[in-house]
Amino acid sequence: MKRELGIARCGLACCLCSENITCKGCGSNECPDHDRCENKTCSMEKDLPACYMCQEDCKKGLLNKIKPYAFTVFVKRYGVAKLLDCLEENEKKGIAYHRNGINGDYDEFDDVERLIHFILTGTR
C-alpha cells in the first residue's frame, strides 16, 4: 500500500492501485484519465478537493459504480484516515483491491452498505 497516494477525488483508492505503477495519484495529473475525468472537473469547479467533500449525493462519472461511490460514502461517514486504515488492514488479511485487472474483492458487491461493512470488518 502506498498510503501517501491516498484516495482519489472520485473515491477510488490510489493508495492500492496497481494499474499504473509510476502514477503519483489523482492530484498529480498522472492518472491516465486525468484530462477527461468528470469527477475531477466537477470537484475542481466546486473548489473541492474531492467528491466526498460535496454535500450532494451524486452519481456522476465514476460515482455511478459501486466501489467508488461506497468509498465516497464511507469517507463522508468515517473520514479518509479511517478508510486508509481499513484498506491497509484488509490488505494484510489478503483482500485485494486489484485481483483480475482492475477488479478485486471490493468489486464483488451490489449493495453500498454491504460493501461498507466489508471495508470496516474485512468479512462478508
**Rounded CA gap, 3 and 5, in Å?**
5
Contact 72, 52 (CB under 8 A): yes
pLDDT tens for residues 28-48?
Answer: 777 777 788 899 999 999 999
Structural element, H or E, at residue 45 = helix 38-45
Cell readout for 13 is 483508492
Each residue's pLDDT tens digit, 22-32: 777 777 777 77
pLDDT tens digit string along 67-88? 999 999 999 999 999 999 999 9
Query: Taking the model in full, what pTM does it have?
Result: 0.91
The rounded mean pLDDT for the chain is: 91
